[in-house]
Amino acid sequence: MTEPRFLNIITNPFGLSNVGFYAKPTFADIDGDGDKDAFVGNDQGNTLFYRNTGTASNPKFAAPSTNPFGLTDVGYFATPTFADIDGDGDKDAFVGNSQGNTLFYRNTGTASNPKFAAPSTNPFGLTDVGFSAAPTFADIDGDGDLDAFVGNEGGNTLFYRNTGTATNPKFAAPSSNPFGLTDVGFYAAPTFADIDGDGDLDAFVGNRDGNTLFYRNTGTASNPKFAAASSNPFGLNNVGLFAAPTFADINGDGDLDAFVGNSQGNTLFFENVPNTPPIAVNDAFSTNENTTLNGNVRSNDSDPDNNTLTVTQVNGNAANVGTQINLGNGKLTVNGNGSFTFDPTNGTAALTDGYDYLPQGATASTSFNYTISDGNGGTASATATITITGVNDAATIAGTATAAVTEDASTPNLTATGALTVADVDAGQNTFNTTVTSASGNLGSLTITSAGSWNYTVANSAVQFLGAGVTKTETFTVKSVDGTAKDIVITITGVNDTASITGIATGAFTEDTSTPNLTATGALTVNDVDAGENKFNTNVTGTNNLGSLSITDTGSWNYTVANSAVEFLGAGATKTETFTVQSVDGTASLDIVVTITGVNDEENAIATFNAQTGSNNPFNNINFGSYSAPTLADIDGDGDNDLIVGVDDGTLKYYKNTGTATNPVYTAQTVTANPFNGIDVGSYSAPTLADIDGDGDVDAIVGVNDGTLKYYKNTGTATNPVYTAQTVTANPFNSIDVGSLSKLIFANVDGDGDLDLIVGERNGTLKYYKNTGTAINPVYRAISGTANLFSGIDVGYSSAPTFADIDGDGDVDAIVGERNGTLKYYKNDTPPKPFIFVATTGTANPFNGINVGNYSAPTFADIDGDGDVDAIVGVNDGTLKYYKNTGTATNPIYTQQIGTANPFNSINVQDSSTPTLADIDGDGDLDL
C-alpha cells in the first residue's frame, strides 16, 4: 500500500485563477488530447473552463471561458463534475446548485469535441438534496456502472446506487452517509479516489470549516467499508472555508494530486510528491560472550525524503518489535526506534549458558532481519549480523590433588598417582596442559596426561635424609588448557634410618697416676643419613661402675673416677668399666670400655679410736639414763650436727648444737623447742633421720620396743621442722616388724641412689629392707638369705648398726654396736657396687679396744668440722662417749674426748641411749 504525500501547496497553479467566491474545481480530458482540463464552478452559478494547452505531465491552462460547450448558469454555487454516465465514450456533465438540484448536461458531441445538450434536473432518479448540491460519481460497488454521491448544505452525503447499467443508469432512492460516511458539519463536498492504491475507492469530503475529511476504505472494491474519518491527511490542510476537494494526476507522474477550492474563489494545489522508500543497510555488530550488546540498526539507514524511520518487523514478524526473542544462543529485543539489546549470556533452552561454550578468541555469529518504514508506505529490510567472541571462562578443577609416600616403602622409587578433572564451559577445554611446574626444592617429578591422570615419582635414595616422622611437601602446579591452575601436593614422611658409630671407644689408665680423680677421654662419630641426627644422646648407661662417663651430642666423651675408689686394686689387677652410649635416634649404640690397672699400695695405717673424756668429750656430763640410742643430723639446717637420742621410756631427747660445726656445744631443747616433743613410741625408742620422701628435709623414723617402725614426716621445712605421725599406707614401714629392741639406720647400701633400711635386732643379727621404689616414693621389701648383704653377721645381742666411710675409700663401711659395749667393724672391701661387708678384727679394726660398757649404739658425724668423721657412742647408762678422729679421712684414729672436750658432756638420757645427729633447727649445724 502506497500512501500519498502532499507537498508544495500552490494557489491557482498552471494558469488557474480566482473565480470570485466559492471555487469548486474538477478535472476531465474534455477534448480527448490526453491531458487534464480544468472546470471551476463559482458562487454565481457559472462554470469556468481552463483548457490544458500544455501536456499531461506539464500542464498549462489557457485563460478561462465561462459555461463552454453548452453549459449554462445554474443559479448559484455551481459544483460541476464529469462522468460518462451513458457509456458512449465521452464525458457528460453534472452541475449542482444552491437549490439542492443536480443539472445534467448530456454530451451529444464526441470525446474530443464535446457538445452539451440542454440540461435536465435530477435525471435517472436523482433528487433535490436540500441546498448546495455537490455531486460526484464512482463505481462504489464494483458492478461496472457509476453510482452517484451528492453532498448537501446539512453536511451529509446522499448515496444513489445505480441499479441500471453503465449505459442506462437508474438510481435507487438515496441513503444518507452509507458505508461509514458521516455528517461532516455543513456543506459536504464529496469525491472518491483510490488514494492508497489498494484497488478500492477511498472517500474525501470537504466541509464548511475548510477541512477535508478522509475515509479510508477498509472493505473491498465491491463491498466498501469506510474507517473513521481523519482530518486533512497526507499533508492536506485547512484551506479557509468551504473546502471542495478533487483529485487528478495533473503532472502525469502516476499518482493523484489534490486540488481544493475555497470560499475565496481560489483553487489550492497539493502536489503528490512520490514517496521514496527508505534505504536499509546491513549491519555488523560484535561483542564478547559475557557482554550485553546495545546498538541501533537504524544508525546507518536513511530516507531520501527525510521521513522518520521506524522498525516495523523483526524476522518478518511485527509482533517481535519490542519483544524479547531467542536469537542464536542469546536473547534479542529490537525496539521501534531501532535500538536493540542482545544478551549473549541469557541462553536458550537448548544452551542455557549462551555463548559460554566459546573458547577464548573463538567466534560465532548470528543474525536477524528487520524492516523499516518511513510512515508513508515506504519500507526496506536489512540484515544485522552479530559476531560473538569467546573469552576464557574460569575452569573448575576437581579430583585427587594430594598424596603421601613414606621413605623406604619401595625401592628404587617412591610413587603416587591420582586423577583430576576439568569442568570448563568453553568447548574443547576440559583437558589439561601436560606441562607441569615444579616448585623450587622439589626432589621428585610429576607428569600429567591431558585427561588429568597424574603420576609422581621420587628416588627413595633422595629422601633418606628425613628423620622418623619428619615430613617434606612437594608442590607441583598443573593447569587446564585455558590456564586455570591447581597445586598437587605430595607429602613425604621419613622413617628412622639405622645409624653407625665409629671412633675411639676405649680408654685406660693406672691407679694413682693422678689425684683426686683419674680421667680418660675420647671422641666418637655418628653416621646417619637422617638430617640432624648425626649426634649422640647425652644420656649414658652403665652398671656396677666405680666412675662416671659423660658424652656431648657431638661425641666427645669424658670418664672420671675417684682415685680413692680404685685403691683396692692390687698390682697389675684390672677392672673394666663399661658405659653404653647411643645415637640420638636410638638406632645405634656402642660400649665405651675403660680399663683401670691397679698398683701396689702401701698398707694404710690402721685407725685407732681413743676415748675422749672430760672436756674433750662434747657429750661429757650428758646422761640419758639407760638404753640411749643416739643419732646425729643437722636438724635445724645451720650447717652443724645436732643430737637426737632415743631412751627407754619411748621419748626422744633433742640436744641442739649451739656451738659450731668444729666446736660443738650440745644444749638440751625441751617443750616446744624440741620438735620431737610429744612423741612417745612406748619404750626403748631408737631414732634415725633421713630424707625419706625426697623433699629436701629430714624425716624421723623411730624403732620401738615391739619391733615396729614409727614414721614422722617433716611437714615443716629444713630450718623449721614439724614432725607429723604417718600411719597405715602413708607409713612406708607399715606392716614391717623387726622384733623387739631393734635399732634402725638408713643408708644407700646397694648403690642405686635411694635409701635402704638396715635394722639391728635384739638377737644380734641385721635385717635388710631394700628400697625397691624411688627416692621420693620408697617401697621397702625384706631381703633374706644370701641376698641379704648382711647375711651371716651376728654380734651376739642387741645389734646397733650404722654406716660411714671409715677408711676414706669412697664407699660406706658398717659399724655395729652390741650388748657387751664393743664396736664391730665390717669393711666394705669391694668397689661401690655390689657391696660386700667383711668383718675386720684385731688391729685392723680402728675401734679395737673401745668398750663403752654395755649396749653400745654408735653413730658417726664430722663433729669438729675437720673433714673426717668422728664417733659418738650411746651407752647403757644413758651417757654419750665421744671419740674424736685425730687421724685423717683415710687413716682414722679415734681418741676419746672427755670433760669439756666432749660436746655431749653432762648429757644423760638416763639409760640405753641411742644417739643420732641432724640439723634439727636448720641453722647449718647438727643437733643431737
Same domain, yes or no: 592 and 711 = no
Residues 816-865 have pLDDT tens digits of: 777 777 878 878 765 555 567 777 888 888 888 788 677 777 888 888 77
CATH number at residue 584: 2.60.40.1080
- The pLDDT assigned to 843 comes to 82
Q: Is 144 exposed, middle or buried (0-12, 13-18, 19+ CB in 10 A)?
A: exposed
Q: Tell which wins on pLDDT, 581 or 707.
A: 581
Nearest to 837 by CA among 798, 799, 803, 873: 803
Is residue 786 situated within a structural domain? no
- The pLDDT assigned to 766 comes to 65
Same domain, yes or no: 591 and 619 = no
Pick from 205, 237, 272: which residue ends a domain? 272
- pLDDT of 805 > 50? The answer is yes
Same domain, yes or no: 587 and 704 = no
DSSP string computed for 494-552: --PPPPEEEE--EEEEETTSSSSEEEEEEEEEEE-SSTT--SEEEEEE-SS-SSEEEE-
Contact present, 419 and 455 (Cβ < 8 Å): no
Cell numbers given for 722 = 614439724
Is residue 783 situated within a structural domain? no
Q: Tell which wins on pLDDT, 787 or 290.
A: 290
Is residue 618 situated within a structural domain? yes
Calculate the CA dihedral of residues 585, 588, 591, 592 and round it to 10 degrees.
-60
HEC string of 355-401?
A: CCCCCCCCEEEEEEEEEEECCCCCEEEEEEEEEEECCCCCCEEEECC
Question: Residue 654: which domain range?
Answer: 611-745+755-771+815-827+839-927
Q: What is the mean pLDDT of residues 877-882?
A: 73
Share the mean pLDDT of the chain.
87
- The pLDDT assigned to 135 comes to 99
CATH number at residue 315: 2.60.40
pLDDT confidence bin for 603, thresholds 50/70/90: very low
How many CB atoms neighbour CB 450 within 10 A?
13
Give the Cα separation of 802 and 858 in Å (integer): 7
- pLDDT of 793 > 80? The answer is no
How many CB atoms neighbour CB 683 within 10 A?
18
- The pLDDT assigned to 213 comes to 98
Residues 233-265 have pLDDT tens digits of: 999 999 999 999 999 999 998 899 999 999 999
Nearest to 212 by CA among 174, 252, 247: 247
Same domain, yes or no: 385 and 518 = no
Q: What is the mean pLDDT of residues 438-455?
A: 97
Q: Tell which wins on pLDDT, 743 or 115.
A: 115
- pLDDT of 589 > 50? The answer is yes
Helix (H, G, I), strand (E, B) or coil at 234: helix
- pLDDT of 675 > 90? The answer is no
- pLDDT of 1 > 70? The answer is no
Q: What is the mean pLDDT of residues 591-598?
A: 95
Alpha-carbon distances, residue 867 vs 66, 335, 884, 890, 915 (angstroms): 175, 119, 12, 11, 21
Cell numbers given for 821 = 659395749
- pLDDT of 915 > 80? The answer is no
pLDDT confidence bin for 604, thresholds 50/70/90: very low
- The pLDDT assigned to 256 comes to 95
Long-range contacts of 339-343 (CB under 8 A, 24+ apart): 339/294, 339/295, 339/296, 340/294, 340/295, 340/296, 340/297, 340/384, 341/292, 341/293, 341/294, 342/285, 342/287, 342/292, 342/293, 342/295, 342/386, 343/292, 343/293
Q: Tell which wins on pLDDT, 174 or 714.
A: 174
Is residue 779 situated within a structural domain? no
Is residue 603 situated within a structural domain? no
Give the Cα separation of 539 and 550 in Å (integer): 8
What is the count of structural domains for the chain? 5
pLDDT confidence bin for 698, thresholds 50/70/90: confident
Return the half-sphere exposure (C-beta side, CA atoms, 13 A cut-off) of residue 782.
11
- The pLDDT assigned to 786 comes to 75
Give the Cα separation of 407 and 177 in Å (integer): 110
CATH number at residue 206: 2.115.10.20
Q: Tell which wins on pLDDT, 488 or 733.
A: 488
- pLDDT of 789 > 80? The answer is no
Q: Angle 682-744-733 (CA atoms, 0-180°, nearest 5)?
A: 75
Q: What is the mean pLDDT of residues 496-513?
A: 92
- The pLDDT assigned to 424 comes to 85
Percent residues over pLDDT 90 in the chain: 56
- pLDDT of 880 > 80? The answer is no
- The pLDDT assigned to 740 comes to 57
Same domain, yes or no: 212 and 290 = no
Phi (first) and psi of residue 573, to 5 degrees? -70, 145
Q: Which of 167-181, 429-443, 612-626 has the lowest mean pLDDT?
A: 612-626
Calculate the CA dihedral of residues 73, 76, 77, 79 and round it to 10 degrees.
-30
DSSP string computed for 409-466: SSSSEEEEEEEEEEE-SSTT--SEEEEEEEPTT--SEEEE-TTSEEEEEEEGGGGTT-
Cell numbers given for 755 = 635409701
Same domain, yes or no: 113 and 198 = yes
Pick from 493, 517, 545: which residue ends a domain? 493
Contact present, 570 and 547 (Cβ < 8 Å): no
Give the Cα separation of 109 and 203 in Å (integer): 31
Q: Which of 115-119, 736-740, 775-779 has the lowest mean pLDDT?
A: 736-740
Same domain, yes or no: 91 and 161 = yes
Q: Is 571 exposed, middle or buried (0-12, 13-18, 19+ CB in 10 A)?
A: exposed
- pLDDT of 120 > 90? The answer is yes
Contact present, 912 and 855 (Cβ < 8 Å): yes
pLDDT confidence bin for 287, thresholds 50/70/90: very high
Same domain, yes or no: 170 and 60 = yes
Q: Tell which wins on pLDDT, 46 or 768.
A: 46
Is residue 354 situated within a structural domain? yes
Pick from 441, 468, 493: which residue ends a domain? 493
Same domain, yes or no: 632 and 739 = yes
Alpha-carbon distances, residue 394 vs 314, 362, 479, 485 (angstroms): 35, 16, 11, 10
Is residue 65 situated within a structural domain? yes
- The pLDDT assigned to 18 comes to 97
Q: What is the pTM of this model?
A: 0.44
Q: Tell which wins on pLDDT, 71 or 733.
A: 71
- pLDDT of 887 > 50? The answer is yes
Rg of the chain over Cα atoms, rounded to whole angstroms, equals 72
- The pLDDT assigned to 104 comes to 98
Give the Cα separation of 304 and 825 in Å (integer): 145
Give the Cα separation of 246 and 901 in Å (integer): 170
Same domain, yes or no: 475 and 522 = no
Give the Cα separation of 805 and 558 in Å (integer): 27
Alpha-carbon distances, residue 61 vs 182, 307, 387, 695 (angstroms): 35, 33, 61, 148
Same domain, yes or no: 179 and 214 = yes
Alpha-carbon distances, residue 213 vs 108, 192, 200, 208, 226 (angstroms): 36, 12, 17, 11, 12
Same domain, yes or no: 712 and 691 = yes
Place of cell 661401690: 832
Nearest to 25 by CA among 326, 213, 262: 262
Give the Cα separation of 624 and 881 in Å (integer): 12
- pLDDT of 764 > 90? The answer is no
Is residue 93 situated within a structural domain? yes
Calculate the CA dihedral of residues 171, 175, 181, 186 and round it to 10 degrees.
100
Nearest to 896 by CA among 869, 862, 870, 923: 870
Give the Cα separation of 491 and 404 in Å (integer): 5
CATH number at residue 480: 2.60.40.60
- The pLDDT assigned to 319 comes to 96
